Chain A
Amino acid sequence: MRNLIQLIFRYHVFLLFLLLQVVAFALLFYNNRYHQTAYLSSANELVGDLYSKRNAVEDYMKLSEINDELALENALLKSRQRRAFYDLNENLILSENDSLFRQQFVYTSAKVVNSSVSKRQNYITIDKGRNHDIAPEMGVVANNSLVGVVKDVSDHYAVVMPMVNTNFRVSVKLKKSGEFGQARWTGNDPGVAEVDDIPKHAKIEVGDTIVTTGYSTFFPENVTVGTVRTKVINEGENFYSLTINLSTDFSSLSYVDVIINLLKEERENLEERVNDAG
């Protein structure tokens, strides 16, 4: 008897191992025969709950596809918006075009496939090109805030010169009072740009919104550019030197809308004719 106890004590780890192993195999056989009703299966409530959480995470991963669809739909809706139509009724000009409004701007959504903010001449590549009716000199916005202008296109891609490129200029105005000036990037911080040429009699507060003028054919009027950050009038000058916070976050840009101006050619032809005549 003593020997037996000694034996058990000496090999207790191995015996415990065998005992638990028997339990494990009992579970295995029991479970194999009745695994449909197994008490501890994955249908178990706790685990089922965890699985539904995992599915929620998987849904989250699919968000980018859903985004694509939504961006497309947004662009379609923007094209149908009243702002996108040229108001023919305003000046009571009746044309053979029978409707009251004629569409002026068409928005095409595009995904940003490449971009940089760290250089001085930054460019953005988007996944729409000539095949999608995109041509150079079209404006690009994101959430109605200014991004840049299409510089060159291939069949399926277009390169955009963004605001954060030192060669980029855009004519802007104060949303509040309408005085206009010219905005360009300072060349280092992708969130900050300069605005010149706003006359010093204009009333400007820090935080005022700066928007596009609509003088250029690239952008509609009132596309947000940024908000005033600092204002200085240098000694002996008649114009403000403003710095503004850009409203577009160029470092995390993922979807943009390219603006196709349907009346651009008509306007340019007219302006050219006048210039030639003068």
Chain B
Amino acid sequence: MLGRVLSQIFRFVFFILLQGLIFNQLNLFDGWVNPYIYIFAILMLPVETSRTAVLFIAFATGILVDVFSSTLGMHTSACLFIGFLQPLVLRVLAPRDGYEFGQLPTVQEMGLSWYLAFAGILTVAHHLWLFFVEVFRFSGFFITLFQAICSAFGTIVIMVIVQYLNFRPKSRTRS
């Protein structure tokens, strides 16, 4: 149990540093795609994490990323939003006989199509919230919308690739 908590903390720190030090500097395709892969730290939380805990973790993630990009409040707000949504999305997408204890919402454990739905909803929600808080007005609505969707797409692609690179498939047998 302790090992799992430690590995979660390690990933949490790792993805925030990755965002702060590398991905904040990325402006792919003339700035249309800005991947915010740090939300991986929130999407990776085990399914049984309590809703309050998810909110607090999301808050911490957001503040730390904000410190890196000098945008205090922006990422915090967007992270809180998906911190609030994450358990709801998990509930909506739950398999018929529920989740197993300790199951992680990853491609390896849940399958690619499940993951794309899960990460897709949350990433798009996060990016929309973030980009609209950033510009803070609704003029140029479609430009912001398009930018958010493009970036969300980039983020999802990177997150899926990272999982294929990083997490060995478990030998756990699924019923």
Residues of A whose CB lies within 8 Å of any CB of B are 12-14, 16-17, 20-21, 23-31, 35, 38, 40-42, 44, 47, 50-51, 54
Give the shortest distance, in Å, between B38 (CB) and chain A (any CB). Answer: 15
B70 touches A27 (CB 8 A): no
Interface pick from B77-85, B111-119, B149-157, B164-172:
B77-85
B105 CB to nearest A CB, Å = 19
Q: Is the CB of A16 within 8 A of B55?
A: yes
Interface pair B68/A17, CB less than 8 Å apart: no
Q: Is A50 within 8 A of B21, CB to CB? A: yes
In the complex, A24 Cα to B59 Cα: how many Å?
8
Residues of B within 8 A of A50 (CB): 17, 20-21
What would be 25 A-B contacts, judged by CB atoms less than 8 Å apart?
Answer: A13-B84, A17-B55, A17-B80, A17-B84, A20-B59, A20-B80, A21-B77, A23-B59, A24-B80, A25-B73, A27-B72, A27-B76, A28-B74, A28-B77, A30-B72, A40-B63, A41-B67, A41-B70, A41-B72, A42-B68, A42-B69, A47-B67, A50-B17, A50-B21, A51-B21
Q: Which B residues are in CB contact (< 8 Å) with A30?
A: 72-73
- Please state if B73 and A24 are interface contacts (CB–CB under 8 Å): yes
Report the minimal beta-carbon distance from A57 to chain B, rounded to whole angstroms. 9
Number of interface residues of B (CB under 8 A): 26
Residues on the A chain within 8 Å of B87, using CB: 13
Complex partner residue of B70 from A12, A23, A25, A35, CB under 8 angstroms: A35
Q: CA A31 – CA B81 in complex, angstroms?
A: 20
- Whether B72 contacts A54 by the Cβ 8 Å rule is no
A28-B133, A30-B73 known; 16 new pairs, CB 8 Å cut-off, are A12-B52, A13-B52, A13-B84, A17-B55, A24-B62, A24-B73, A27-B63, A28-B74, A38-B72, A40-B72, A41-B67, A41-B70, A42-B67, A42-B68, A42-B70, A50-B21
Contacts of A35 in B (CB 8 A): 70, 72
Contact B72 A44 (CB under 8 A): no
A70 to B83, CA, bound (A): 53
